[in-house]
Structure 1
Amino acid sequence: TVGDPTIPVDHLELLLRPLTKEELAVEAAAWIGLVKGKVQEISEIEIEIRTQKQLSEETVDAAKQEVKAVTAEAKAAVEEEAKAAADEAKAAVEEAKAASESTEAGTAASEATATSEAETEAAAEAEAEAALEAAEAAKEAAEAQIKAAKAAADEEIQAQKATAAEAIAAMIKQKAALESERVGLVDRANAVMNAWEKKGGDPSTERLYLVAVSGLTVDVKDVSSAWLTITEWVKSPEGGIRWVFNLVKFLAILLAFWILARVIGKLVDRGLSMGSQSLSMLMRQFLSKAIRRVIIAIGVIVALAALEVNIGPILAAIGALGFVVGFALQGSLSNFANGLMILGYRPFDVGDFVEAGGVAGTVESLNLVSTTIKTPDNKVMIVPNNSIWGGIITNVTGSPNRRVDMVFGVGYGDDLDKAQAILERIVTEHPKVLKTPEPVVRVNELGDSSVNFICRPWTMTSDYWDVYWAITRSVKRAFDEAGISIPYPQTDVHLHQVEANNA
Structure 2
Amino acid sequence: QNQLLHEVDEAKNAGPDVTQEQTTKIIQLNERLTYSSASLAEATELLDTLGKDTVELKQALLSISGDITQDVLNVDVVRSIVRQWFKKVKNMTMDNGPNIIFKLTMLIIILFIAKMLSNGARKLTRKTVTRSSLNFSVLLQDFFITLVGQAVFILGILVALSQLGIELAPLLTGFGVAGIIIGFALQDTLSNFASGMMILIYRPFDVGDLIEAAAVKGKVSHMSLVSTTIKTLDNQRLIIPNNKIWGDTINNITVEPNRRVDMIFRIGYKDDIDKAEEILTSVTMSHPKVLKDPEPKIRLSNLNLSSVDFIVYPWATSDDYWDVFWDITKSVKVEFDKAGISIPYPQQDLHIHQAS
**Coarse TM-score class (shorter-chain normalised):** 0.7 to 0.9
Cα distance in 2, alignment partners of residues 462 and 231 from structure 1: 73
SS at match of 1:221: helix
The structure 2 residue matched to 1:443, chosen from 300, 306, 310, is 300
1:428 aligns with 2:285: yes
2:111–2:157 Cα contact (<8 Å) kept: yes
Give the greater-gyration-radius structure (CA).
1
2:121–2:152 Cα contact (<8 Å) kept: no
Q: Which residue of 1 aligns with 2:183?
A: 326
The structure 2 residue matched to 1:370, chosen from 221, 227, 230, is 227
Q: Deviations over 1:412-468 (max 9, x none)?
A: 111111111111111111111111111111101111111111001111111111111
Query: What amino acid is the match of 1:249?
Result: M
1:255 aligns with 2:112: yes
The structure 2 residue matched to 1:356, chosen from 209, 213, 225, is 213
Q: Which residue of 1 aligns with 2:200?
A: 343
Q: Deviations over 1:385-434 (max 9, x none)?
A: 11111111111111111110000011111111111111111111111111
1:221 aligns with 2:72: no
The structure 2 residue matched to 1:452, chosen from 287, 299, 309, is 309
Cα distance in 2, alignment partners of residues 287 and 381 from structure 1: 24
Q: Which residue of 1 aligns with 2:33?
A: none
Query: What amino acid is the match of 1:242?
Result: N
Cα distance in 2, alignment partners of residues 275 and 269 from structure 1: 10
Cα distance in 2, alignment partners of residues 304 and 378 from structure 1: 46
CA distance change for structure 1 residues 277 and 491 in 2, over 3 Å: closer, same or farther? farther
Q: Deviations over 1:251-283 (max 9, x none)?
A: 222222122212221221222122246211111
Structure 2 portions without partners, runs of 5+: 1-12, 15-46, 53-77
1:235 aligns with 2:94: yes
Cα distance in 1, alignment partners of residues 300 and 79 from structure 2: 98
Query: What amino acid is the match of 1:402?
Result: R
CA distance change for structure 1 residues 222 and 321 in 2, over 3 Å: closer, same or farther? closer
Query: What amino acid is the match of 2:279?
Result: I
SS at match of 1:361: strand
1:313 aligns with 2:164: no
Q: Deviations over 1:154-192 (max 9, x none)?
A: xxxxxxxxxxxxxxxxxxxxxxxxxxxxxxxxxxxxxxx
1:220–1:226 Cα contact (<8 Å) kept: no
Identify the range of structure 1 (388-397 vs 299-308) with the bigger mean alpha-carbon deviation.
299-308
Cα distance in 2, alignment partners of residues 227 and 329 from structure 1: 46
CA distance change for structure 1 residues 494 and 400 in 2, over 3 Å: closer, same or farther? same
Cα distance in 2, alignment partners of residues 294 and 361 from structure 1: 33
When the two structures are superposed, what TM-score results if normalisation uses the length of structure 1? 0.54
Q: Deviations over 1:69-103 (max 9, x none)?
A: xxxxxxxxxxxxxxxxxxxxxxxxxxxxxxxxxxx
SS at match of 2:228: strand
The structure 1 residue matched to 2:144, chosen from 287, 302, 314, is 287
SS at match of 1:434: coil
Q: Deviations over 1:322-375 (max 9, x none)?
A: 322222222221111111111111111111111111211111112111111111
1:274 aligns with 2:131: yes
Cα distance in 2, alignment partners of residues 433 and 306 from structure 1: 68
Q: Deviations over 1:226-265 (max 9, x none)?
A: 43433333233xx122111111211222222122212221
When the two structures are superposed, what TM-score results if normalisation uses the length of structure 2? 0.75
Query: What amino acid is the match of 1:255?
Result: F
Q: Which residue of 2 aligns with 1:478?
A: 335
Cα distance in 1, alignment partners of residues 111 and 216 from structure 2: 41
Between Structure 1 and Structure 2, how many residues are aligned? 286
Task: Please give the root-mean-square deviation of Cα atoms over the aligned residues, in Å.
Answer: 2.3
TM-superposed CA distance for 1:225, in Å, is 4.3
SS at match of 2:211: strand
Higher fraction of strand: 2
Q: Which residue of 1 aligns with 2:58?
A: none
CA distance change for structure 1 residues 306 and 430 in 2, over 3 Å: closer, same or farther? same
CA distance change for structure 1 residues 227 and 326 in 2, over 3 Å: closer, same or farther? closer
1:404–1:464 Cα contact (<8 Å) kept: yes
SS at match of 2:174: helix
Higher fraction of helix: 1
Structure 1 portions without partners, runs of 5+: 1-27, 30-60, 67-218
CA distance change for structure 1 residues 322 and 223 in 2, over 3 Å: closer, same or farther? closer
Q: Which residue of 1 aligns with 2:57?
A: none
Cα distance in 2, alignment partners of residues 437 and 362 from structure 1: 27
1:423–1:455 Cα contact (<8 Å) kept: yes
TM-superposed CA distance for 1:223, in Å, is 4.4
Q: Which residue of 2 aligns with 1:465?
A: 322
1:300 aligns with 2:144: no
Q: Which residue of 2 aligns with 1:403?
A: 260
1:449–1:490 Cα contact (<8 Å) kept: yes
Cα distance in 1, alignment partners of residues 311 and 79 from structure 2: 91
Q: Which residue of 2 aligns with 1:489?
A: 346
Correspondence 1:52-91 to 2 at 5 A: none
Cα distance in 2, alignment partners of residues 254 and 400 from structure 1: 47
SS at match of 1:294: helix
Query: What amino acid is the match of 1:498?
Result: A
Cα distance in 1, alignment partners of residues 79 and 154 from structure 2: 39
SS at match of 2:80: coil
SS at match of 1:414: coil
Cα distance in 1, alignment partners of residues 136 and 245 from structure 2: 20
